[in-house]
Amino acid sequence: MEVYKYRSNYDRDISLLLNSEIYASSYIDQNDPFEGIMSLNLMNDRTLGMAEGHFILNDRESILSRYFGSMNLLEIYGIYSLSKTCESELLWAHYSNCHKGFCVEYKLDDLLEHGQKLNSFAYVIEVKYRNAPPFYSNDDFGDTDIMTKPMIYTQLGMKSTAWKYEEEIRIVFRGCGKKKISQNAVRSIIFGARATDNDINNTICQINDYMPNKIKYFKMFVGKNYNLIKNKIE
């Protein structure tokens, strides 16, 4: 499967690329202010009831304690966000300096294989989009010092439908910061429709000096029907 990372800073992002690195950031550094939230049952009585198909233990203090404990535990994970598409005009606008930047095409299997060898990545999550946060209760959290797989997938894998256009795939690492990847993971560089000839030529020269004949290059052009057209750079 091919996945894509939109980039805006040529100096910083090309440097990471040449060092075979990516940067996994904390959930608190993501651009979605609702990152990780869930709907909670905070009724005061302690009876066992039903809500939206889930058994709910109505223990306000316990639920709040476990919820905030899980949010704190999320900070140990680093997130590298990717997209399933390289043709979104909104993604180019939002994450690639208004189409002036570039997009890196990765082979997902090669990204994951290197992470497995280093025992550095924990989960691969295809984000699901909802109209409301997921509803969870006390029992769903488990112990406050352990993040279960279902909780990781719930808190880091569900977002508002407002973000659906991103078609996001997340690689979740153990720890934030720079992560080594295989050179073989990089398939191509795609430049935005407004990328300058100077940025394109400088980038190609830098990469070819370091990784000759391994990467293909493309440039996006503006089509006539609100579409972007990817053309190969020969």
Sign of the Cα pseudo-torsion (223, 227, 228, 232, in order): negative
Q: What is the pLDDT of residue 201?
A: 96
Please state, in angstroms and rounded to a whole number, the distance separating the CA atoms of residues 32 and 13.
Answer: 22
Q: Residues 34, 27: contact at Cβ < 8 Å?
A: no
Nearest Cα to 204, choosing from 191, 185, 222? 191
Model pTM?
0.84
Q: What is the pLDDT of residue 41?
A: 53
Say if residue 226 is exposed, middle or buried (CB neighbours under 10 Å; 0-12, 13-18, 19+): exposed
pLDDT in tens, 61-83: 666 667 777 777 788 889 999 99
pLDDT at 139: 59
Query: What pLDDT was estimated at residue 146?
Result: 57
Looking at the structure of the chain, the number of domains it has is: 1
Secondary structure of the chain as H, E, C letters:
CEEEEEECCHHHHHHHHHCCEEEEECHHHCCCCCCCCCEECCCCCCCEEEECCEEEECCHHHHHHHHHHHHHHHCCEEEEEEECCCCCHHHHHHHCCCCCCEEEEEEHHHHHHHHHHCCCEEEEEECEEECCCCEECHHHHCCCCCCCHHHHHHHHCEEEHHHHHHCEEEEEEEECEEEECCHHHEEEEEECCCCCHHHHHHHHHHHHHHCCCCCEEEEEEECCCCCEEEEECC
Structural domain of 164: 2-232
Per-residue confidence at 212, pLDDT binned at 50, 70, 90?
low
Q: What confidence score (pLDDT) does residue 111 get?
A: 85
| Cα distance between residue 215 and residue 103, in whole Å | 13
53-63 pLDDT, tens digit each: 444 444 566 66
Q: How confident is the model at residue 44 (pLDDT cuts 50, 70, 90)?
A: very low
Label residue 154 by pLDDT band (50, 70, 90). confident
Quick one: pLDDT at residue 147?
A: 65
Which residue's entry shows tokens 């153990």?
Answer: 174
